[in-house]
Amino acid sequence: MKLAFTKMHGLGNDFVVIDNRNGRIKNLKKLALKLCDRRFGIGADQLIILGSSKKADFKMGIINADGSEVEMCGNGIRCLAKYIWDNNIGSEKLAIETLAGIMYPEKAGSLIKVDMGEPILDPEKIPVKLKPSTIIDHPLKLKDKTFRITCVSMGNPHAVIVVKDVDSAPVETIGPEIENHKLFPKRTNVEFIQILNRKNIKMRVWERGAGETMACGTGASAVAVAASLLELADRRVTIHLKGGKLLIDWSKKDNHVYMTGPAVKVFDGAVDED
């Protein structure tokens, strides 16, 4: 039997999207390992699953290329929203259930705006095994170097590090060390950021379970919050990623983070399910 899919990306953070609203496909971890493989499969950072929901319009499942399930993906939810609209199965403003809660994508001209909810700063809820009420500019020693981390959850954990030159940041070496550090019981995403000015931030990201990716929507959201907490940037900023730009607005009105950016369909296809 053939399995239909759509290949999509948000700023180069790429996904295989499948419709599993009927719940027919059971072993999604195995499927993610197969489809996301860049040499033997379609190739993607994550598998995105459209499911049915009793709480919202739809449910979103997210499985990394390594088979681990994650709570939320900002670029992924924009792509899933576009997939829904392209297939005429949802309204212009959506409610999508995720493991991080219900998210609300809506059309914003040619872009997609998503209400990402309130940032979580409580270490126990991020989670991080540290006692302070918030973790802002906290020293983390790795071998002979110390990195200062600011921790935020956008439904999934992030550790943000400010550097002078993000292009030369040790993303591929330090990223996995911090991701798997004992402080983070559920591992963590790691963002390296360079403050360009109060309205622009350059960012590279090491994503939990996927490695360095071209972009990360929840990461960009966490970076905007962290930079504001560090008093290095305004609450409304443009995040410059390898794959392009995201506009992030940490609203004073409701404390919610709003992410606006593109989503692109690459191609449709079908593969054997076996």
Contacts 24+ apart (CB under 8 A), 174-183: 174/142, 174/145, 174/147, 174/206, 175/206, 175/211, 175/212, 176/206, 176/211, 177/142, 178/140, 178/142, 178/147, 178/149, 178/206, 179/206, 179/208, 181/140, 181/142, 182/129, 183/128, 183/129, 183/130, 183/140
Asked if 216 is an active-site residue, the reply is yes
Q: Which of 36, 73, 79, 151 is catalytic?
A: 73
Which residues on adjacent β-strands are paired with residue 113? Answer: 106, 260
First-to-last C-alpha distance (Å) of the chain = 8
Surface-to-core class of residue 109, CB atoms within 10 Å of its CB (0-12 exposed, 13-18 middle, 19+ buried): exposed
Q: Are strands 189-197 and 157-162 parallel, antiparallel or unpaired?
A: parallel
Asked if 73 is an active-site residue, the reply is yes
Q: Give ∠ CA 105-78-84 in degrees, rounded to 5.
A: 80
Q: Which of 36, 79, 151, 216 is catalytic?
A: 216
d(CA 113, CA 79): 11
Nearest to 16 by CA among 43, 40, 34: 43
Question: Which residues participate in catalysis according to the annotation?
Answer: 73, 216
